Structure 1
Amino acid sequence: MKEIIETPDAPAAIGPYSQAVKFGSMLITSGQIPLTPAGELVAGGVAEQTGQVMENLKAVLAAAGTDLSRVVKTTVFLADMNEFAAMNAVYEQHFTAPYPARSTVQVARLPRDVRVEIEVIVDLS
């Protein structure tokens, strides 16, 4: 049975989806973009946007009773792969070894024309 995870400490879904879904011993988040919990776009470049995305992910995980240390897989979507190093510098501040698996891809466009979106899969067992 799936359980929907929602928190006011991260931006509300801007479409027909949930912030996260708990299913058995797994937690799967929707992609987080750099909106504040109030729904405002964070100013700045990919570094500032990545910082807000990570804060949003932490809030969603906290609502499910977990944290980034339990993340087993991340997927990073970038508007421009030339911004990988700047995103990665912020991303690595939030994880410690052993690091989760990760895929990073450049996409044609992201919601609200943001620079970065990240989703995670968490092992709750």
Structure 2
Amino acid sequence: MTIERNNPDGLHATPGYHHVTRVQANTTVYLAGQCPLQASGELAPGGLEGQTAQVIANILTALKSEGATPESVVRTVIYVASPNREDLSAVWTQLNESPLAPAFTTASTLLGVAQLGFPNQLVEIDVTAAL
């Protein structure tokens, strides 16, 4: 598998992600949007930070189940239920300081949204990996 990440001339500088990710792979793995639910089905405690930590753990578990690593990730979409840029920035920082950080050097999108699927859910991440 080959993953190439680049920022073409003529596009703005990024805070760590790449504008373009090109992949040549035999297998593509699509994760369902990973929610901040614990294995018990309960929403993770700890507000935005606790929920983000749970989403990170869930993604790492799902990737491992397919023989993938954070370095295998080729696309992420991060949803934060907040109109505040500070909340989006806090999630981005937490993600990039976590063991999942290499996943966010790829083509990534960070969005503030009105609400997510579960009551009181604050974060969800959609991940695509290549093997």
TM range (shorter): 0.7 to 0.9
1:109 aligns with 2:111: no
The 3-state SS of whatever aligns with 1:43 is coil
RMSD value over aligned CA atoms?
2.0
The 3-state SS of whatever aligns with 1:54 is helix
1:87 aligns with 2:91: yes
From the superposition, tell whether residues 65 and 108 of structure 1 become closer, same or farther in structure 2 (CA, over 3 Å). Answer: same
Counterparts of 1:106 and 1:97, CA distance in 2: 19
The 3-state SS of whatever aligns with 2:96 is helix
Under a length normalisation based on structure 2, what TM-score does the superposition of the two structures give?
A: 0.71
Q: How many corresponding residue pairs?
A: 102
- Give the aligned partner of residue 11 of structure 2: none
Alpha-carbon shift at residue 32 of structure 1 (Å): 0.7
CA contact (8 A) 2:83 2:114 kept: no
- Give the aligned partner of residue 56 of structure 1: 58
From the superposition, tell whether residues 29 and 98 of structure 1 become closer, same or farther in structure 2 (CA, over 3 Å). Answer: closer
Counterparts of 2:125 and 2:104, CA distance in 1: 19
- Give the aligned partner of residue 105 of structure 2: 99
Under a length normalisation based on structure 1, what TM-score does the superposition of the two structures give?
A: 0.74
Counterparts of 1:97 and 1:121, CA distance in 2: 10
What stretches of structure 1 move > 6 A for 4+ residues in a row?
none
Residue from 71, 74, 78 that aligns with 1:72: 74
The 3-state SS of whatever aligns with 1:108 is coil
In structure 1, list runs of 5 or more residues that go unmatched: 1-23
From the superposition, tell whether residues 49 and 101 of structure 1 become closer, same or farther in structure 2 (CA, over 3 Å). Answer: same
CA contact (8 A) 2:56 2:95 kept: yes
Alpha-carbon shift at residue 37 of structure 1 (Å): 1.2
Equivalent AA in structure 2 for residue 48 of structure 1? G
From the superposition, tell whether residues 68 and 76 of structure 1 become closer, same or farther in structure 2 (CA, over 3 Å). Answer: same
Equivalent AA in structure 2 for residue 92 of structure 1? N
The 3-state SS of whatever aligns with 1:30 is strand
In structure 2, list runs of 5 or more residues that go unmatched: 1-25
